[in-house]
Every structure is written in C-alpha cells, then in structure tokens.
A and B are shown apart, each in its own frame.
Chain A
C-alpha cells in the first residue's frame, strides 16, 4: 500500500521562523573567502551541524543568490555543487538514491575538490583511450 493512501497527514507546526543564526554565517564566509584569496586555502561549513531552520537556509540561499555554474554529480544519488552569486562560494547538497538530502555544505573554493578529476582516475581514462586507439 502506498503511503499516500493512508489518511495520515502531518501538519507542520507553523513554519519556525528565522532563528537569527544565519546572518553571522555571512561574516564567517567573508573570513573564509579572505583566506582563500590570501593563502589559497579552501574550506567548508557543514550546514547540518548548525542550528538552522528551513527559513534560515532559505534566507541564506536568497542572500547568496545564484551564480553562473551549476554542477550535477551522479554518484549514488544526485549531488549538486552550485556556485552562488558570490564567486568562490559554492552551495553543495548531497542526496541519496531516494532523493533525500544527506548532507549540505557551503564551500569556499576556486573549484570544489569533488569536481576535479583525481590523477588516478585520469590515468584510468588514459588507459581507456589507449585501448580504444589500439583497438581501431
């Protein structure tokens, strides 16, 4: 039986509003962007480790805006690594196969580490290319 056919509906107990925990995050991000520019050090903030309400997250997303690049990773569920309106700040969401959000980060990086191909994997690609050429 599908879950929808059970007459049970959960009413959200009134949208919990802004907790006030989101605005300080902007300062934290500023600090991290500064470090990225000065030392080239990339870093990330784990959003699920912070006491943020859905309204806080929506506020943050809205403030940071949307950038030019949106990366989608298909690996055991979809992940999105989207540049925000502030270049160098990425909104990273990992989902599982069922589409549920498993973890969420804000990364300060020129390119998120996950996007770059690992040399070992590039090597595998090289071998594959060579095998194709020799196979022709």
Chain B
C-alpha cells in the first residue's frame, strides 16, 4: 500500500472533496488560517506514509480505543490508517517473536525518520521489572526506540505526565516519557483518554509541514490545550451568575447549572473537550452533567478528590483539634505564669516603671 495518501483514501471510498472538507475543518480546529487547510490537503495528498512505531507501556489501551473506535468510519481513523503503523501490539496481526522482529525491522529501515508514539508510563522501580515486553524492560525499549525517532509523541496522560500508575504512592516508580527522553522533540497529548482529533491533528501537522505544532510549557499543542475547559464551557454564564448545582439530582443539576461545587476541575484544566466534544460532537462530560476530572493535567489523580470543589481543603484538617488543644494549653500556662508574676510583684511591692508600660 505504498503511494500517496489521496490514492489510498480513494481506494477506501474517500473522495477528494471529503478530504478537502476534512482538512479545512482540521485546520480550523488547529487554529491555522483557512489557506492552511488547502496547503494541508495538497501536502497530505502527496505525502508518503511515514513509518510509525507505537510502544505500549504501563497503560490500559484506552488511548488506542479512543482513536480506533472514535466513531466509524471517520476520516480521523482513516488518517490514522494512512500512516504506516509498523508496530502496535494491540492492532497488529503478528505476535511474539514475529512482532518483535517487525519492530526491529522498522527501526532499522527508517532510522532517524520514524515517529514514535508512546502510551503508558514507564516504571523505573526494580530496574524496570514491573513492565516488560519480550523480556526487555520498558525503559530499555523506550531509550532504544527514541534514539532513532524523528520525534516522540506521548499519547495519553500516563505517557505525558505519569498518569494513574504515577499516582500516590507510585508503587512502580512510574515516570513520563519526557522524564526520560530529553534529546528528541516530545509532544504530549494528555487526556484519559485524549481526544482523537488532537492525535490526528498532530499527525496531520507532521505530515503536512514536516514539523510539530506549537507547544505550551507542558509540551502540549497550543491549538488544543491553549484554553481551559472553564473558559470555553457553555455553563460558564451560570458560574458568573453564582448559580451552582449542589448535588447531582437537585434543581440546579436539572437546570444545567455550573458544576463547580460538585468538584469540576474545569478552571484548572487545559483541553479542547468544550469545543471539540466527544463521540462525533455528541456531548462531553460537563454537558452530560458531570464535572471535569482534569484528566489532561499532571497528577490529576492526586488532585484532592474528583468531587471536592477546587476551593475546599484537599485533605481533612487533621491538625485543627490537636493545635486547638495545644493553643489552649499554652494560653492557660502563660495565663498562670502572668498571674504568678503579678502576685510576686505585688507581694514585693514593685513599682511600675515607664519601661514596663512600653512592653
């Protein structure tokens, strides 16, 4: 199936106009000027399929599910098919030694040119023994594969920031891709799972311009992670009016009021859910009546509880009782000491001086 993308698409029944339409929309979502949509279409139509190696580490396959089952048949899915996916354990037909052979082959053939997609975090505890493929630890595999990669795309929160495996107490010593790969360009596409179009958007950008899109300080594509959920939320006016749902079945919840008090992490979460939505634009968590979990932010799992509002204590205030007792004790002790010194002063007939008053 070598050849240009548009020919491959045509064989799958995707017309040129459908492709142009998709590129126009993709460019719009990536905040590129409209002219870029056409440039993208032209470049992608002629592009050769880049080799992509997808390494799964400590993960749940949810990221793969998100992109392959987004909704069918999608152009997103087809763009994904258009890359030469040389290694993907879940999707590939080969298994065992055959699969490992395919990986070695792809890495040798396309050295320096392939894109490396990683999902899942990498355990460092016990010399990486917590997660191995074909007898080799994840950290070993990642270091070897990253060496020959043109760029590394960390898909999902686990690969981007450590995710659930890294959650307190992090039993496996899990770290993110960018903790280990420092000498190659790394793009983080966090989310649990990430939005499919964000993944294909980055791939399309690479196919078109041969480079990675502009990134923020957490290495996320700015066009998708530039604004918070709260900024673009359709329930934002309720927040501004002070109208909040207080339980999941009260009048406020029925009226679709703001979910801040129910623990929505929208104000501190950067992602495109509010604009791109999920399942082909059907809905997204807040529209379905549940607050944002903040899944595209580092350490969202340890953010103090999904159902606790951002303004309330993350932990129970456990020092209050003890410190109150200590405070009362100190106060009483100082009180007794004061009385004692007062009585002593009185019995000694001490006089009050100016210095005493200055105290």
Contact = CB atoms under 8 A, between A and B. Distances in A.
A103 B254 contact: no
Contacts of B21: 73, 75-76, 79, 94, 114
Contact of B256 (A11, A43, A97, A114): A11
A98 B34 contact: no
Interface string A39-58: 00001111011000000000
A13 B20 CA distance: 36
Contact of A98 (B24, B235, B281): B281
Interface of B: 14-18, 20-22, 24-25, 27-29, 31, 33-35, 38, 71, 75, 235, 237-238, 241, 253-256, 277, 280-282, 287, 289
Interface in A88-123: 94, 96-98, 100, 102-103, 105, 113-114, 118, 120-121
Nearest to A106: B34
Interface in A2-45: 7-11, 13-14, 16, 43-45
Contact of B237 (A13, A46, A94): A13
Contact of A9 (B17, B237, B256, B282): B256
A113 to B, nearest CB: 7
Contact of B281 (A46, A75, A96): A96
A79 B255 CA distance: 33
Nearest to A115: B17
Contact of A46 (B15, B34, B280): B34
Closest CB pairs A-B (n = 6)? A10-B256, A75-B18, A100-B281, A13-B237, A44-B34, A103-B28
21 contacts: A7-B254, A9-B254, A9-B256, A13-B235, A13-B237, A14-B237, A45-B34, A46-B27, A46-B33, A49-B28, A75-B17, A76-B14, A97-B71, A97-B280, A100-B277, A102-B25, A103-B25, A105-B24, A113-B38, A114-B17, A114-B20
Interface string A57-93: 0000000000000000101100100000000000000
B14 to A, nearest CB: 8
Contacts of B29: 103
A48 B28 contact: yes
A76 B31 contact: no
Contacts of B75: 76
A interface SS class = loop
Interface residues on A, range: 20 to 34
Nearest to B237: A13
A73 B19 CA distance: 12
A102 B75 CA distance: 13
Nearest to A42: B35
Contacts of B281: 96, 98, 100, 102
B25 A73 contact: no
Nearest to B238: A13
Nearest to A48: B28
Contacts of B31: 49
Contacts of A10: 255-256, 287
Nearest to A104: B28
Contacts of B255: 9-11
Contacts of A105: 24, 28, 34
A79 B25 CA distance: 11
Given A79-B21, A114-B20, A46 B289 contact: no
Nearest to A118: B16
